[in-house]
Amino acid sequence: MLQAGLPRDVLRRATIYSSGEPCAMCSAAIFYTGIGRAVYGLSAGAILHLRNAQPHTAGLSLSCRAVLDSAAEKVAVVGPCLEEEGAVPHQGYWQEGAA
Ligand SMILES: [Zn+2]
């Protein structure tokens, strides 16, 4: 578990795991905290599909790879992983046009 004040070399060896692909804002936060690797389950596209997102609710479609590949310091990205399993908690949750 991460805690405040960790040295940068420790953060660079850390991995953050998320059930869904980090959005552009979270990807930037991952970079700026110095975390060296991100692993995610559901792709942003799969989440949009599960949400039945509409153009006005879809938000940014920039992948976390697009954001993190542009970073000056490399952040490894692994995902999507286990999308079928990751979709289970979403099924029946999102209603049409939900944010
Ligand atoms: Zn986010």
- Parse the chain into domains and list their residue ranges: 8-81
pLDDT at residue 50, rounded to an integer:
86
State the distance from the centre of ligand 1 to the C-alpha of 43, rounded, in angstroms. 13
State the distance from the centre of ligand 1 to the C-alpha of 48, rounded, in angstroms. 13
Q: Is the pLDDT of residue 9 over 70?
A: yes
Tens-place pLDDT, residues 66-83: 999 999 999 999 999 999
* DSSP code, position 88: G
pLDDT at residue 93, rounded to an integer:
84
Angstrom CA distances, 12 to 4, 29, 43, 74, stand at 14, 14, 23, 9
Report yes or no: 15 and 39 within 8 Å, Cβ to Cβ.
Answer: yes
State the distance from the centre of ligand 1 to the C-alpha of 7, rounded, in angstroms. 24
State the distance from the centre of ligand 1 to the C-alpha of 22, rounded, in angstroms. 5
Mean pLDDT, residues 20-45 taken together: 95
Mean pLDDT, residues 10-34 taken together: 95
Mean pLDDT, residues 19-44 taken together: 95
